[in-house]
Amino acid sequence: WWLEAIQSSPSSARKGTTSLVMLIAWSIWKHRNTAVFDNSPPSIASLLDAVKAEARQWSRAGAVGLRALLPSDPI
């Protein structure tokens, strides 16, 4: 599925798509670890908020490909 997702993306969006998939996978892993090791209840809403916040941070840090996939930042 990974290769198909990358190959089906327009060439201009491939780097951003790769970054977004890695960011989502990493965020799910961190959220899972928090639930398991800190005994925190899992929450899809908090996971999505974390992905959005982290994506904005990556974008501000210079992830140009990812920035192209995100809605414009009102700030």
Report the number of distinct structural domains present in the chain.
Answer: 1
Q: Concatenate the DSSP letters of all residues of the chain into one string.
A: -HHHHHHHS-GGGHHHHHHHHHHHHHHHHHHHHHHHHS-PPP-HHHHHHHHHHHHHHHHHTT-HHHHHHSPPP--
Whether residue 53 is contained in a domain is answered as yes
Whether residue 51 is contained in a domain is answered as yes
Whether residue 8 is contained in a domain is answered as no
Whether residue 42 is contained in a domain is answered as yes
Whether residue 31 is contained in a domain is answered as yes
Distances (CA, A) of 40 to 10, 28, 31: 39, 14, 9
Whether residue 61 is contained in a domain is answered as yes
**Whole domain around residue 44: which residue ranges?**
14-69
Whether residue 35 is contained in a domain is answered as yes
Per-residue confidence of the chain (75 residues) as pLDDT tens digits? 778 877 888 887 888 888 998 999 999 999 999 999 999 999 999 999 999 999 999 999 988 888 888 887 554
Is residue 51 within 8 Å of 27, Cβ to Cβ?
Answer: yes
Whether residue 40 is contained in a domain is answered as yes
